[in-house]
Structure 1
Amino acid sequence: MTSDKSNLLSSREIQSIQLWISKLKRYKDLSTEEKVIKCKRRLKFSYNVIGFGKHRIVYDLNNGYVLKVAITRWGIENNKTEYNIYYNCPEHLQINLCPVLEHGDGWIIMKKADTNIPVDSRFKDKIRKLKKEFINHGIDPKDLWSANLALSEKLEIIVIDYGNFQKKDE
């Protein structure tokens, strides 16, 4: 279920995102970098962009949360997937997913996670075990690699980008 209301975004920001999403088709043939530029110009947010991928741009809301806005139709689906997986997976797996606070059509707000995963055998083993756990619970953890991971304060692995995960029953 999506919403056009937010506790963290203003109604103007929501309207800007809705307008951007309604125009996505117009930009489908542009490169990712060109889409990011167009999105930033259209939204006119004061927030800093802290990253982007093929399908979404990520803004730092400066309050411990990030805003992911779709820059492709697939990005809209990535946001829906993150929301659905977060709220429909077992609790013991949910603690390894970056928490979702709010979402709407084409956007999602999640907790910000800063720490990168060290590339050593201890964390590689933890990642393998986590992948197996997701699979055992009917979730295909596509894109489970270090760039999409962070560490919690307790040094637990947190998946910060799980938009390409897939529930096996879907």
Structure 2
Amino acid sequence: MSKYLKSQKLKSIQNWIKKLEKAEVSEQSEECSVEELKLPYKDIGAGRHRVVFDLGNGLVLKVAKIAKGITCNKNEVNLYRSVSSSLQKHLCKIVEYGHGWLIMKKMNRIIRNKKEYENQVFHILEAFRSMGIRISDLHDKKSGDLKRKNIRLNKDKKIVFIDYANVYSC
């Protein structure tokens, strides 16, 4: 049962996740996964492993679009639930989750001047590293630049990570 998803929509997601787990679906384009899910929400983006929908109520829904996306959602939930409140405040709030999907707060304030926030991000990542956690979704692997698409600002202009699924022990 979901507080935010009607049973029909939740069933559609669960059926999709079952297909992913049975390997009935190969690497999918965003359009294919969105089409198959048949959810009435606006598709606002996707990464390699998940598609993101705007629920229209200040929340977003992340659904796995390939099997690795199931693990990505699980990683985000586990990290969010396991860190101290001083670190959790830098992770976008997850309000509900299930197998292969999660719902989190929609964060709209993008970082316009990345230089202004690089030190803040560096210090936050150092705090995670001191806990033995490395989040790889926040810097471009080749250039080392901040991935601004994965970082937002809260109402107090503090950094919040909206994609923190690729987490490693360090």
**TM-score normalized with structure 2 length:** 0.89
Secondary structure in 1 matching 2:62: strand
CA distance in 2, matches of 1:167, 1:101: 25
**TM alignment of 1:83-162, pairs within 5 A:** 83-144=77-138, 145-162=147-164
CA 167–91 in structure 1, closer or farther in 2 if over 3 Å, else same: farther
- Equivalent residue in structure 2 for 1:50, among 44, 47, 64: 44
Paired residue type of 2:41: Y
5+ residue gaps, structure 1: none
- Cα distance in 2 between the residues matched to 1:167 and 1:154: 30
Partner of residue 26, structure 1 = 24
Q: Which of 14, 26, 29 does residue 10 from structure 2 map onto? A: 14
Corresponding residue SS for 2:164: coil
| 1:116-145 deviations in Å (ceiling 9; x for gaps) | 112342201111111111101121111123
Deviation at 1:167, TM superposition (A): 4.3
- Count residues in correspondence: 160
Alignment of 1:66-77 (within 5 A): 66-77=60-71
Given that 1:81 and 1:166 are in contact with CA atoms closer than 8 Å, whether structure 2 keeps it comes out as no
On the 8 A contact 1:68/1:107 being kept in 2, the answer is: yes
Aligned counterpart, 1:166: 168
Structure 1: how far apart are the matches of 2:112 and 2:132? 27
What is the rounded CA distance, in whole Å, between the counterparts of 2:121 and 2:148 in structure 1? 9
Q: What is the aligned-residue RMSD (CA, Å)?
A: 1.3
Look up the equivalent residue of 1:155 and give its one-letter code.
Answer: K
Residues 63-91 of structure 1 deviation map (CA, whole Å, 9 limit, x = unaligned): 11000000111100010011110010011
Matches within 5 A, 1:53-64: 53-64=47-58
The DSSP-based 3-state class of the residue aligned with 2:44 is: strand
Q: With the length of structure 1 as denominator, give the TM-score of the two structures.
A: 0.89
Taking the aligned partners of 1:138 and 1:26, their CA distance within structure 2 comes to: 36
| 8 Å contact kept, 1:102–1:109 | yes
Paired letter, 2:129? I
Other structure's SS at 1:27 match? coil
Q: In the aligned structure 1, how far is the partner of 2:128 from the partner of 2:159?
A: 13
Instruction: Note closer, same or farther for the CA distance 1:12–1:167 as it changes in structure 2 (3 Å cut).
Output: farther
Further displaced range: 16-25 or 115-124: 115-124
Q: Which runs of 5+ in 2 are unaligned?
A: 139-146
